[in-house]
Structure 1
Amino acid sequence: MLKENPEDNSHLINTLFKRHDADGPNDSKTSVFSSNQKLLQTKKERRHIAFLKVHKAASSTAQNIFLRFALKRDLLVVLPFVPKFLYPNVISSWETVTDKNILPVPRGRVYEILCCHAVYNKDAFERIMPADTINIGIVREPFEHFKSTLNYIKPREVFNLNISDPVSLFLQKSTTYQSRTKMGFVNNRMAFEFNFPADIFKTRDKTGIETYLQKLDREFQLVIIVEMFDESLILMRRLLNWGIKDILYIKLNAKKKLFERITFKPGDVLLYKKWAELDYALYHFFFRRLQVQIHAQGGTFYEELLYYRSLRQDIEIFCEKKPIPNVTYHVSNSRWSDAFEVAKEDCAYMEKKEIPFIKEIRMQQYGFYNDTI
C-alpha cells in the first residue's frame, strides 16, 4: 500500500522503476524516481531518447514533442531508409531497427533521438543508441486503441466480413478470422510493438506475460498513458530535466467520427478484453506504475500539472489566432520554468504534421527528402 509520505515508498519505487545511469552503462538497481528531491536536483538535460511510437496511441502528438526538441538542439534523429513511394515516417511496422531500414549515421555524429515507428527490441535499440539513452513508451486504453485502429487502418480481417456489423462478428469468433500467432493490427497490436514473444501470443500464459512485463519494467523508464497524457508529460519533463516549453503540444491526428461500418453491441468490450488480453495486461501494468510514479513526486506534482494545463489552454488560444508579425506570447518565470516566449513559428511546429516534419529534419540532417544514396 502506498503511504502518504513519498519518502516512505522508496522501497516500492526502487522495486518498480529502473533506469539507465546518466553517466555510464545501464544500472538496473537504480531508480529513476527514487526520491522527489533527487529528481528535482538533477540539472543535466537528458538528450538521448528512444521513444517507442506505437500505432494509434496518440504517438504522433508525442513524437512532435521529440522532433521539436531535436530540431531546436540539432540532435540526430534516427530516420527510415525507404523508397520515395513508401511512408517516410515509418522505419518499420513489422520489425525493429536494422542497418537496412535506417539512414546511416553522418560522419562525426551519433544517433540521439529515436521516435519513428519501429518494433521494440532491447538489443537493437542499444546497438544504435548511446548508453545513457532513456527509453519511453506509450500505451492507450485497449478498446479505445481498437476503435482508433478500426477507424484509421480498416483491417481486412474485420472489414472483409460481408455483414452489416463486421466488428461484432469478428469479436464473437476472433480466432476464426485471426490466428493468435498471426501478427496484424487487431491482434494485441500494442503488445506486438512492445515485442512480446511469439509463444506468449499463442499460449497467453499468465506467468510468461508477467515475466515479460517485468522485463519491460526494467527497460522503460517511462511509459506514457494516453488517458493521462498531461500527467505523463510532467513526469517526463522532470525525468529529462526539460523545460515547460519543451512539452507544450497541440493534439495531432485527432479524428472523432467513426467509419460507418464500425458499430458495436453490448458485450463487445468484454469479448475484446478476452481477445486482447496481452494489450490489457500491458496497459494495466503501466497504468498502475504511473500512479506510483506520480505519488512519488509529492504535492508539487499536482501544482505543476495545474499550472501546465492552464498555460497550454492559453497557448492553444494564441496559436489559433491568425499570425501577427513580431507578436509573441510571453510566459513569465515560475517555479517550474524560466520566462520564455512562444512565437507563431512555435505554433506552426506544434501543428506540423508528421510526414512534412520528418522531411524537414531529413533535409536538415542529410540534404535530401528521398533516399538517393
Structure 2
Amino acid sequence: MKRLNGRAEKRHIAFVKVHKAASTTVQNIFLRFAMQKDLLVVMPHVPNFFYPNVISTYNTVTNRNILPAPRNRSYEILCCHVLYNRTAFERIMPQDTVYIGIVRDPFDHFKSILNYFRPKQVFEIDDAFPESRFLQDPEFYNNGSLSSFLDNSMAFEYGFPPNLFKTRNKTEIQQYIMKLEKEFQLIIVVERFDESMILMRRLLNWKIKDVLYMKHNVRRKGSGDFLFSPGDGYRHSRWDELDYSLYDHFFKRIQFQLREQGPDIYEEVLYFRRLRRDIAFFCQQIPGKDSTYTVTASRWNDAFVVTGKDCHYMTIPEISYINELRLKQYGYFRNILPVRGLETAFKSSVGSFR
C-alpha cells in the first residue's frame, strides 16, 4: 500500500449517496479510485425494473440486494444508493472503514427534486404556481407519500427513526444527529464542495489527483426555474424540519473542521480550484487517448500527468461506469434496458418506493 507523508492511504470507504445532492460527482471519485487500485465495489443485485447502480431506495444493504463478494475478496468501497444503517453497513464493510456522507441546502435540494422527479404531489395541483401552492399545505398535498422525495428525504436516506417524521421531536432529532456525528468522519457539504474535497483528501491521505472531478448530473440552464412566493422558504423549513436540522448541524461541523486544519487549507482549496479549471479546459477539448496534460509539482502535489483516459473516466455516465466495474469484478453485467429505458422505468416505478 502506497504511503503519503509517511501515512498509508485509506482504501475502505462507505459513502451515503444522497439523491440530488451532487452525490454522483463524489461517487465518480470513489469509482475511479476503486478501478485504479483494484478495490471491490459493493454492487447491486439488479431487479428487472430498476437502475443497475441502485442497491435500494427503501432499504439498507441486505444479502438479497447486493451481489456476494467474489471468492477470496472482501468489500472495500460502498458508494451506490442505499439507506444508511450502521449495523448493516458494518456487517459487510471492514472495521477500518471511513464513513463519508453528503448534505445539500434543503431548499436547493427541494428545487432539484422538483426538477428531476417532477412529483405528481406538486405538479398535479391545479394552480398556476403549483410549487408554491404545495408549500402552503405540504402535509395535505403529499398525503403521507413515501415516494415523492419531498418529505425530509435526506434524513430518510440517513436512516432517521421513522417516528421522527411524524413527531418531529427536537430532542430525539438532535440525539440521532449526534449519533451520526460520531459515526461519520466527514459529511460533505455541497455549498462547501471544494473545501470538502480537500478535507476528504487529507482524511483519506490521497493524492490531489485522486479527488479531481468533473460535475455530473448538473441541470441544464433554464430548467428548474420555479416561481415561489415570499414566505415559501420559511414554510419549507417548517415542513422539512429534519433535513434542516441535519444540514445546519453538519454545515457548522465542516466549518469547525476547516478551522481545525489551519489557514493553509484555504490555500490548498484555491490551488485545487485553479487546477480543476485547467483540467476542465483540457478535458473539454475531448482529448485523444494519447493526449496528456502535465501538472507541475506544487506544495500540495508531486508532478503528475492527466490523460485522455483520465478525462473519460471523470466524465463517464454513472450507469456505464457501474456496468464496466461489474464486468471487471464479476465477468458480466445485466444491462437490462438501454439507459433511456432505465430512466423511464425508474420514474414510472417511483411510486413503489421512497
TM-score (ref. length: structure 2): 0.90
The corresponding residue for 1:143 is: 107
Contact 1:53 1:117 in 2 (8 A): yes
The corresponding residue for 1:255 is: 219
C-alpha displacement of 1:333: 2.0
Residues 1:200 and 2:164 aligned together: yes
SS of equivalent residue, structure 1 residue 212: helix
Change (3 A) 1:214 1:42: farther
Per-residue Cα deviation, 1:255-286 (whole angstroms, up to 9, x for no partner):
14465794322211111011001100000000
Equivalent residue letter for 1:203 = T
SS of equivalent residue, structure 1 residue 137: strand
Q: Which runs of 5+ in 1 are unaligned?
A: 1-39
SS of equivalent residue, structure 1 residue 135: strand
The corresponding residue for 1:15 is: none
Match of 1:269 among 228, 233, 239: 233
- CA distance in 1 between counterparts of 2:259 and 2:131 reads 39
Equivalent residue letter for 1:140 = R
Match of 1:313 among 272, 277, 298: 277
Match of 1:110 among 74, 87, 95: 74
Contact 1:180 1:202 in 2 (8 A): no
Contact 2:114 2:224 in 1 (8 A): no
SS of equivalent residue, structure 1 residue 198: coil
Q: Which runs of 5+ in 2 are unaligned?
A: 337-354
- CA distance in 2 between counterparts of 1:139 and 1:203 reads 22
TM-score (ref. length: structure 1): 0.86
The corresponding residue for 1:54 is: 18
Give the superposed CA RMSD. Answer: 1.8
Contact 1:76 1:111 in 2 (8 A): yes
Equivalent residue letter for 2:217 = N
Contact 2:43 2:326 in 1 (8 A): yes
C-alpha displacement of 1:107: 0.4
Residues 1:45 and 2:48 aligned together: no
- CA distance in 2 between counterparts of 1:371 and 1:318 reads 31
Q: Percent identity?
A: 56
SS of equivalent residue, structure 2 residue 7: coil
Name which of structure 1's ranges 82-91 and 122-131 shifts more when overlaid on structure 2.
Answer: 82-91
The corresponding residue for 2:91 is: 127
The corresponding residue for 2:295 is: 331
Count of matched residue positions in the alignment of Structure 1 and Structure 2: 333
Per-residue Cα deviation, 1:5-55 (whole angstroms, up to 9, x for no partner):
xxxxxxxxxxxxxxxxxxxxxxxxxxxxxxxxxxx9561100000000000
Contact 1:48 1:113 in 2 (8 A): yes
C-alpha displacement of 1:83: 2.9
The corresponding residue for 1:27 is: none
Equivalent residue letter for 1:287 = F
The corresponding residue for 1:30 is: none
Q: Which 4+ residue blocks in structure 1 deviate beyond 3 angstroms?
A: 179-184, 256-262
Contact 1:78 1:102 in 2 (8 A): yes
The corresponding residue for 2:317 is: 353
Change (3 A) 1:258 1:326: closer
C-alpha displacement of 1:223: 0.3
The corresponding residue for 1:159 is: 123
Equivalent residue letter for 2:311 = C
- CA distance in 1 between counterparts of 2:174 and 2:201 reads 29
Per-residue Cα deviation, 1:127-156 (whole angstroms, up to 9, x for no partner):
000000000000000000000000001112
Equivalent residue letter for 1:101 = N
The corresponding residue for 1:244 is: 208
Change (3 A) 1:126 1:371: farther
- CA distance in 1 between counterparts of 2:154 and 2:109 reads 9
Equivalent residue letter for 1:368 = Y
C-alpha displacement of 1:183: 6.0
C-alpha displacement of 1:181: 8.1
Match of 2:31 among 37, 49, 67: 67
